[in-house]
Amino acid sequence: MRSHRSMFSCALRAAAVAGLLIPAGFAAANPIGFMSPFSGTPAGDPGGGYSPRVNPLRGVQPNDTASMGLFMFDANFNFAPVNSGSDVLAMRGTSTGLGTNRNGSSTVNGFWDEVVLGNTVVIRATFGTANGEPLMPMGSQVPTPGGGSAPAVFWTWRFGGLDPVNFMDHVTQVRLIRATVSFSADRGQTFYSTISHTTSIPNRNNWNPASDEGLIVSNIGDGMNHVMLQYEIEVVPSPGPIALIAGGLLTITARRRR
């Protein structure tokens, strides 16, 4: 836990210096290819994993796991996990209990997968309470050294921080095109605000393996009970799979000519 504290303290201080603290009331935007996170894999999508004849290409390893967690801070950089499990490993495509909400009684659930929305490949990760209670209501407290507590002021997320998203061996490059985080007070049916935070993620031209240490956000107490992370990506395969695609297209063309 000491390593977590050092990392979060540095991140919070750096964000404060750089003016990256995002206040409540930030400008609204539309999530990438929005559909309710509760709907899972979009209709017509054959599922995650790599297929050389699926366009656009996908590349996340089948049955891959990634760590997920939410964390809140007081004004002095003390922090605590919102979900009692802290960083919890979640298998792609499977709803995972991340532990009890520190600020309530409900389980915090996590879900992530690689999906295709039209011509866009998106890695989506969601956090939400099972009973719809707020994740961080007004009055949420962070334990402090000495056994006391202090009001939570800021919070952040971690996706893949301990266990990143891994791609198939024949994926040579993953380009991160856009990253957004969206907030909902009705369990993900609608989103009242979205932040684009693409530039906060390093290695965007080769985001393999994929992880996100989050932003420092200050909208505690606004009723949020659902968080959706979306990462629009472009998967670049090795020449072998590209040859398979070309070969498949040539075969189809030849059959049609006959």
List pLDDT tens digits, range 18-35: 445 555 445 555 676 654
Report the C-alpha gap between 66 and 162 in whole angstroms.
8
Domain holding 228, by residue range, is: 2-257
Q: List Cβ<8 Å contacts ≥24 apart for 170-173.
A: 170/50, 170/59, 170/237, 170/238, 170/240, 170/241, 171/50, 171/59, 171/208, 171/235, 171/236, 171/237, 171/238, 172/236, 172/237, 172/238, 173/205, 173/206, 173/208, 173/235, 173/236
Task: Report the range out of 8-12, 105-109, 192-196 with the highest average pLDDT.
Answer: 105-109
Q: What is the pLDDT of residue 21?
A: 56
Output the CA angle 67-7-95, nearest 5 degrees: 15
With vertex at residue 69, the alpha carbon angle to CA 67 and CA 75, rounded to the nearest 5 degrees, is 145
d(CA 83, CA 135): 9
| Residue 58 burial by Cβ neighbours in a 10 Å radius (0-12, 13-18, 19+) | buried
139 token code pair: 């009055």
Rg value, the chain, Cα: 20
Rounded to 5 degrees, what are φ and ψ at 91?
A: -80, 140
> Residue 249: left if φ>0, alpha if ψ -120 to 50, beta else—which one?
alpha
Q: What is the mean pLDDT of residues 206-234?
A: 96
The pLDDT score that the predictor gives to residue 256 is: 54
What 3-state class would DSSP assign to 257? Answer: helix
pTM of the model: 0.81
The pLDDT score that the predictor gives to residue 239 is: 75
Q: How many domains does the chain have?
A: 1
45-100 confidence digits (pLDDT tens): 444 444 444 578 899 999 999 999 999 999 998 999 999 999 999 999 999 999 99
Mean pLDDT calculated for residue range 119-133? 96
Q: What is the model's pLDDT at position 119?
A: 85
Indicate if the pLDDT at residue 37 is higher than 60: no
Report phi then psi at 243, rounded to 5: -65, -35
Provide mean pLDDT across the span 91-111.
Answer: 97
Instruction: Tell me what the pLDDT averaged over the chain comes to.
Output: 82
